[in-house]
Structure formats: structure tokens, C-alpha cells
């Protein structure tokens, strides 16, 4: 597609439920990132995928968070047993890969945990 | 972990004024990136800097990569209402692909 696509754009869920957030990167981009943005804060790195290499999961805040990338394209971020502190905007970005290359961001998923 | 200190946190200016914001890091960066985020959207890259001392312009925007490689600034000249948004500095620390972001500068422009 023309840009990074994320769905849903908004998700409201109840505490304790699982949620799945989807990211469709720009075609041909080998690198894919997930970031979390809390209100009034900068972007917090969560996870990074590069080609077929093992993902860098060092930013995931707890074992309730997981992500996968199928076929080197679409990625899904899953949050199990959601907590209120998980409420944030989850941003996906893709790039051609390599150090310092430009990240193109999607519009994000606004997650609200009640 | 790496930390980026971005200032000011917010600015309220009149249309036509010039704006300056800066970013400092606790470690050396090889690349400095400046992003703008508008409400409901993801950040969009404005300017990328790859070399210490580099001064780069993009229209009314000018950014510089500090000589020490630990700082950068962004200037916006003759601001207009559509400049409103949150401006983030970002960069990968040396030999690291993970972008670290500052906390952003919220810019409000009064017409």
C-alpha cells in the first residue's frame, strides 16, 4: 500500500481481556517496529523485526505482550489480560532497514482499557 | 538506557514568529532525526542529519547536528497555524538501530 496501515484505529476493551493490533507495513520494507506512546510522553520502543532475523523484544514491558510478523510483512501485537496502564497509542513503523534509515509511521491504534 | 532531553516542553507563539527547540543526549548519536506529529496521526519525518556540524534546511525549517554529536536543534521561521503539532527529536545511539525519542515539544501557533 501507499503507507503503513494499522487497525483498528481505536479499541476499547475491558480489563483482563486480550487484544490484537495489526500493522501492514509499506511493501518492500524489511524492518518493522512497534512503539507505544502514552499521553504527553515520547515514543517507547517495544519490538523490532528485521527480515528473517530473530526479533528484538527487549522493549516489551511484560510477558503479557507479544508480537509476530508473518511472511515478513503483516505484524500483530498481542496484549493478553489487559491492564489499565496498557492504555496508550500503539504505533507501528516500517523502514528499508539499516542504521538511521527513515521510519514511516502508521496512524496508530488508540487502546483504552476500562 | 539512552536518554534524550528535549526542550522546551511546550511553546505558545504568534503567527509569524520564529521558533527554536533543541535536544541533548547523554551519549553520542550518529544520526539525528526531527519528526512532527499532528493529532491522530503518526510522526512524520521532517529533517534527517547524518554528519556532525551538518546544517540542513527544508523550507522554513532548519536543523543542525551538533559538533559534539550529543545535541541538535530545530528552527522554524515565520511560523504559520499549520505548524501546530508535537515535534520530536530522535536518533539511534552509536551502532544501534533502535530509535530513541525525546518527549516532544508541543507547538501552538496563534493566528
CB contact under 8 A, A91 and B42: yes
How many angstroms away from the CA of B72 is the closest CA of chain A? 15
- At residue A72, the pLDDT reads 77
Give mean pLDDT, residues B20-27.
93
A110 forms beta bridges with A10, A89
pLDDT category at B4 given cuts 50, 70, 90 is confident
Contacts of A104 (CB under 8 A, 6+ apart): A3, A4, A26, A29, A93, A94, A95, B45
CA B25 – CA B106 distance, rounded (Å): 19
In chain B, the percentage of residues whose pLDDT exceeds 70 is 94
- E strands, chain A, are 5-7, 10-13, 19-24, 31-37, 43-50, 65-69, 75-79, 88-95, 104-105, 109-113
Q: From the list B31, B91, B103, which residue is nearest A41 (CB)?
A: B103
Q: How far apart are the first and last CA of chain A?
A: 33
**Which of B42, B45, B88 to probe by mutation at the A interface, max A CB count within 10 Å?**
B42
Asked if residue A1 has pLDDT above 60, the reply is: no
Of the pLDDT bands very low, low, confident and very high (cuts 50, 70, 90), residue A100 is low
What does the pLDDT look like over B56-96, one tens digit per residue? Answer: 999 999 999 999 999 999 999 999 999 999 999 998 766 56
Chain B environment of A48 (Cβ under 8 Å): 97-98
Q: Which helix or strand (DSSP H or E) is residue A9 part of?
A: none
Residues of A in contact with B91 (CB under 8 A): 100
Categorize the per-residue pLDDT at A99 as very low, low, confident or very high, splitting at 50, 70 and 90.
low
Query: And the C-alpha cell for A93?
Result: 513503523
Are the Cβ atoms of B42 and A106 closer than 8 angstroms?
Answer: yes
Radius of gyration of chain B (CA): 13
Q: What is the spatial distance between Cα B47 and Cα B44, in angstroms, rounded to a whole number?
A: 10
- Residues in chain B, total: 111
User: How far away is chain B from the Cα of A43, in angstroms, using its nearest Cα?
Assistant: 6
For residue B50, what is its C-alpha cell?
Answer: 547524518
Chain B residue numbers with beta carbons less than 8 Å from the beta carbon of A45 are 98-100
DSSP secondary structure string, B61-96? EEEEE-TTSSEEEEEE-S--GGG-EEEEEEEPBTT-
Nearest Cα of chain A lies from the Cα of B104 at a distance, in angstroms, of 6
Instruction: Kindly report, residue by residue over A36-68, the tens digit of the pLDDT.
Output: 999 877 889 999 998 888 899 999 999 999 999
Amino acid at each position: 500500500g501507499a503507507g503503513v496501515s494499522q487497525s483498528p484505529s481505536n479499541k476499547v476493551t475491558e480489563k483482563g481481556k486480550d487484544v490484537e493490533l495489526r500493522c501492514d507495513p509499506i511493501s518492500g520494507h524489511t524492518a518493522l517496529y512497534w512503539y507505544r506512546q502514552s499521553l504527553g510522553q515520547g515514543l517507547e520502543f517495544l519490538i523490532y523485526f528485521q527480515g528473517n532475523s530473530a526479533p528484538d523484544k527487549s522493549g516489551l514491558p511484560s510477558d503479557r505482550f507479544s508480537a509476530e510478523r508473518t511472511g515478513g510483512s503483516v505484524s500483530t501485537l498481542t496484549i493478553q489480560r489487559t491492564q489499565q496502564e496498557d492504555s496508550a497509542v500503539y504505533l507501528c513503523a516500517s523502514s528499508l532497514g539499516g542504521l538511521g534509515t527513515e521510519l514511516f509511521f502508521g496512524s496508530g491504534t488508540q487502546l483504552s482499557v476500562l | 538506557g539512552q536518554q534524550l532531553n528535549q526542550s522546551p516542553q511546550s511553546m505558545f507563539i504568534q503567527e509569524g514568529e520564529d521558533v527554536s527547540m533543541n535536544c541533548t543526549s547523554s551519549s553520542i548519536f550518529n544520526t539525528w532525526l526531527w519528526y512532527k506529529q499532528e493529532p491522530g496521526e503518526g510522526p512524520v519525518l521532517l529533517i534527517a542529519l547524518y554528519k556532525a556540524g551538518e546544517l540542513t534546511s527544508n523550507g522554513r525549517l532548519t536543523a543542525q547536528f551538533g559538533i559534539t554529536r550529543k545535541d541538535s536543534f530545530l528552527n522554524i521561521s515565520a511560523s504559520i497555524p499549520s505548524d501546530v503539532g508535537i515535534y520530536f527529536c530522535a536518533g539511534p545511539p552509536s551502532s544501534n538501530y533502535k530509535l530513541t525519542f525525546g518527549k516532544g515539544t508541543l507547538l501552538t501557533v496563534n493566528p
